[in-house]
Amino acid sequence: MRKKLIAGNWKMNNTPSQGAALIADIKETADKASCDVVVCTPYICLPAAVKAAEGSKIAVSAENMHFEDKGAFTGEISAEMLKEVGVTYTVIGHSERRQYFAETDETVNLKTVKALANDIIPIVCVGESLSQRENGVTFDFIAMQVKLALKNISAQDAEKVVIAYEPIWAIGTGKTATDEQANEVCAFIRKTVKELYGENTANTMRILYGGSMNAKNAAGLLAQSDIDGGLIGGASLKAPDFCTIINAATNA
C-alpha cells in the first residue's frame, strides 16, 4: 500500500510568523496521522517553517528550485541552499509557474533531475487546460508531460518522484473534477509510468490530485484507487480545513 501524502501549497501567502503559527495549529493532527504531511512555503518562510515543524512529522517543501548549482541567476534558489535550511521536498512545474513564469517541460525535467541528485523529493505537477480537455487531448497531453518530466531518470529514482495531477481548469476556479474524472487521469499517469519503467515503479510512485481539493470533497477523492493524496492550495491556509483533509487521508 502506498502511504498517502497531503501537501499544502501556500503559494504567495503567509509571512514567516504567520506560517509558523499555522504549522503550530496543524502539528497535533499531523503527528497523529498515518499519512505524510508536507507544507510548501515561500522561500522567505522556509527557515521559520523548518523551525516550527521541528520534532513533528511535518516535512517542509519549497515551491520551486533552480536547476543549476550556483551562478548569475538573480532571485533563484539552489538545491544546496534548500538542503542547508532543512527542506526535503520541492514543488516543480506548478501550472502557475508554467503559465506566468515561462516554466517549460525541459526546465521541469532539469529541476527534477537536480532535486533527486540532492535527495530532495520532487512534487512534479502536470495537468491540462479546459480547452485541451474539451478537445479530447487530455491523455495525450498528460502522457507527454509525464514522459518529458521523467527523461533521463532511472526507475529507482522515479519511484521517489511524486506526481501531482492538477487540471488547470480546476485550480482556484472552484471547479473540481469529479472523483471518477480525477481518478481516471491519475490511473492513466500510473499506466504511463508502467510503460516507462514497469509495474513495480508504477505501483510505488505516489500520484496526488491537485485541483481544488478541500475539506468537503477530500474524503471522496482520497478514497479513489489511484489518488495517493493531495496538493492542496487555498484549503491549506486554514488550519481546520487542512486538518480535515489530513484526517480524510488517514481514514481513506
Catalytic residues, by residue number, are 94, 166
CA-to-CA distance for 112 and 148, rounded, in angstroms?
11
CA-to-CA distance for 1 and 92, rounded, in angstroms?
25
Per DSSP, 3 falls in state: P
Q: How far is CA 106 from CA 29, 138, 218, in A?
A: 38, 20, 32
- Which H helix or E strand runs over 206? strand 206-209
Q: Which amino acid is at 234?
A: G
CA-to-CA distance for 145 and 147, rounded, in angstroms?
6
Q: How far is CA 210 from CA 41, 47, 76, 77, 135, in A?
A: 16, 25, 25, 24, 21
Residue 179 has a CB neighbour count (10 Å cut-off) of 17
Angle between the N-to-C axes of helices 46-53 and 16-32, in degrees from 0 to 180, rounded to the nearest 10: 30
User: Which residues fall within 8 angstroms of residue 251, CB to CB, at 6 or more apart?
Assistant: 219
Angle between the N-to-C axes of helices 239-251 and 16-32, in degrees from 0 to 180, rounded to the nearest 10: 30
